[in-house]
Chain A
Amino acid sequence: MFMHQHHSYGRDSDLDFSDSLAMAEIFPNEGLTLIYAGFPKGGAGPANSWIGLFTGYTASTVGTSVATITSTWAEVASAGAYARQTISSASWGTAATTQSGWGSAAAQVTFATATAVWGTVNGFVVTNSLNQGAGVVYFGANFDDVTAVAVNTNDILKITPSWIYTG
């Protein structure tokens, strides 16, 4: 247990987003293919992945197992300084028990200041491509507070990539 100036916390609870009951998340088939490639097939995982923001669905729903980035995720348009951000595989923290599964988070990523309205964002996707609207979606999730975020000009936002495996 570590002590902080304002509060105390332990590692297991640091990354627990599961107090949010209504958020949805999914590894679509594209993401499950990558997981299968690692185990049992023994393939190496990617060194980097890229995080983007989607406007499709709702603040509490995400795509189905067959959803693709070019279909219904509806990523924020490549305008107003929007661009996907890189997540290094080395930036993922240790997995730990959460209230709803075995979870992990990565170092936070900060998006560039919006220079135009990005629209109402319902969550994030983790992909295999730097390019907006392209590539494979490994994972998609709503924000853990189940609240859509209207991103307007001059807004700056920071995302904590995270997911939970359930047994």
Chain B
Amino acid sequence: MSVAPWEPKVIKGHPETELFNEAGDLISMLTLCSHCESLRTIILLVGDRWYCSSCRAEGSSKPKMFPIS
């Protein structure tokens, strides 16, 4: 019986970048901020998306706007 190769857990469509070692081998995928696509030392999960501090704050404080007829 063959064993399925290990695959990292990823969120489909989420921005990532590669991390290589000196030999050029892929070590890991690094998750980027879902909004600004920057690599930050800290990101936080909101729903199924990772956000940097700045983008997370912007998202949580966005004003709720309603159309006025």
Interface residues of A in 1-24 (CB under 8 A from B): 2, 4, 6-7, 9, 11, 14-15, 17
Asked if residues A17 and B27 are in contact (CB atoms below 8 Å), the reply is no
Interface residues of A in 119-167 (CB under 8 A from B): 124, 141, 143-145, 147, 149, 155-162
Asked if residues A149 and B42 are in contact (CB atoms below 8 Å), the reply is yes
How many B residues are at the interface, by size bracket? Answer: 20 to 34
What chain A residues lie within 8 Å of B22 (beta carbons)? 94
What chain B residues lie within 8 Å of A15 (beta carbons)? 19, 39
A78 beta carbon closer than 8 Å to chain B: no
B2 beta carbon closer than 8 Å to chain A: no
Asked if residues B45 and A157 are in contact (CB atoms below 8 Å), the reply is yes
Interface residues of B in 12-56 (CB under 8 A from A): 15, 17-22, 27-28, 30-31, 37, 39-45, 50, 52-54
- A–B Cβ pairs within 8 angstroms, 7 of them: A14-B19, A15-B19, A91-B27, A94-B20, A94-B21, A107-B30, A145-B40
Given contacts A94-B22, A107-B19, 7 further A-B contacts (CB under 8 A): A108-B28, A145-B40, A156-B45, A157-B42, A157-B45, A160-B30, A160-B39
